[in-house]
Amino acid sequence: MTATLPVRVMVQDAWDEIKLDLPSTTPLTELKQRALALAHVRGDPSWYLVKYRDAPITDESLSLADWGVVPNAALIVSPRRRRPVV
């Protein structure tokens, strides 16, 4: 049996915090896709990046456990590019 990790994901485009309970073997790409879908953010998931401890995740194919994500950790899903303010 795989241990599960409760995590909080802030999706910046929706300014919404999504709470997930995922197996520790879940790849970061799946976490990002789920968080974007639950926040009702449309668009290509590749336009977004995941940050953990204020650092961008460079290899989203690795799992939560591989990145050392701890229970109740806060992650951020934000656009890869800054948008101009109009």
At 60, which amino acid appears? E
CATH annotation of 4-79: 3.10.20.90
Task: Report the percentage of the chain scoring pLDDT > 90.
Answer: 78
Q: What is the pTM of this model?
A: 0.87
Residue range 57-75: mean pLDDT, rounded: 94
Average confidence score pLDDT of the chain = 91
Beta bridge partners of 49: 78
